[in-house]
């Protein structure tokens, strides 16, 4: 079954968090201390976390990637801030083009809203991925997690080209 990218629905919120947490805890584990991983992807996934995702206070445009009917990747865009907010892929589906397909969907959504340039806070883990997709590192920085804890990141940018 081919990969499918579609808009996220409210009832995907638990799967959204499951993919996010697995990606952080397995794929990013080598790049960050345990305290950061624990706050970036707190377990267990609670009803409150699910409700928080469903509230979507920043008005994120969200997409999910499905393989064989299962959600294996998530992506989010905050068009108002020209921000690529999130891209996470489940470890079992990594390096199969899922992240690339999600970023493509986010870039098309951005262009459709008149956003011609995207910025993002890349994890140290995802730097090569975003560079592969044409994003350039502007500076090293810190990303502030919802808990207030800071984690090292790379501020990146890409000018989008409409085809």
Ligand X SMILES: CC(C)(COP(=O)(O)OP(=O)(O)OC[C@H]1O[C@@H](n2cnc3c(N)ncnc32)[C@H](O)[C@@H]1OP(=O)(O)O)[C@@H](O)C(=O)NCCC(=O)NCCS
Residue among 42, 50, 70, 96 that touches ligand X (CB under 6 A): 96
Cβ-proximal residue to ligand X, closest one: 99
Compute φ and ψ for 119, nearest 5 degrees. -120, 160
Q: What would the x/- binding string for ligand X be over residues 98 to 127, using CB under 6 A?
A: xxx---------------------xx-xx-
Q: What are 25's two structure tokens?
A: 């805890």
| Distance of alpha carbon 157 from alpha carbon 126, whole angstroms | 13
Report the site for ligand X in 3-42 (rule: CB under 6 A): 23-24, 27-28
CB-based contact 49:17 (threshold 8 Å): yes
Q: Which residues contact 36 (CB under 8 A, 6 or more apart)?
A: 145, 149, 151
Q: What would the x/- binding string for ligand X be over residues 126 to 155, using CB under 6 A?
A: x-xx--x-----------------------
Residue whose token pair is 């990013």: 28
Binding residues vs ligand X (CB under 6 A): 23-24, 27-28, 87-89, 94-100, 122-123, 125-126, 128-129, 132
């Amino acid at each position: 079954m081919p990969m499918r990218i579609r808009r996220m629905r409210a009832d995907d919120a638990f799967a959204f968090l499951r993919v996010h947490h697995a990606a952080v805890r397995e794929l990013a584990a080598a790049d960050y201390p345990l305290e950061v991983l624990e706050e970036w992807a707190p377990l267990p996934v609670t009803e409150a976390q699910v409700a928080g995702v469903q509230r979507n206070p920043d008005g994120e445009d969200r997409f999910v990637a499905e393989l064989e009917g299962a959600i294996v990747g998530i992506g989010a865009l905050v068009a108002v801030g020209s921000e690529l907010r999130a891209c996470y892929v489940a470890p079992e589906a990594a390096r199969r083009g899922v992240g690339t397909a999600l970023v493509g969907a986010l870039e098309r959504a951005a262009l459709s809203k008149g956003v011609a340039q995207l910025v993002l806070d890349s994890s140290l883990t995802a730097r090569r991925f975003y560079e592969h997709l044409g994003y350039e590192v502007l500076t090293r920085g810190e990303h502030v997690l919802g808990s207030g804890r800071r984690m090292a990141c790379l501020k990146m940018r890409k000018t989008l080209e409409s085809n």
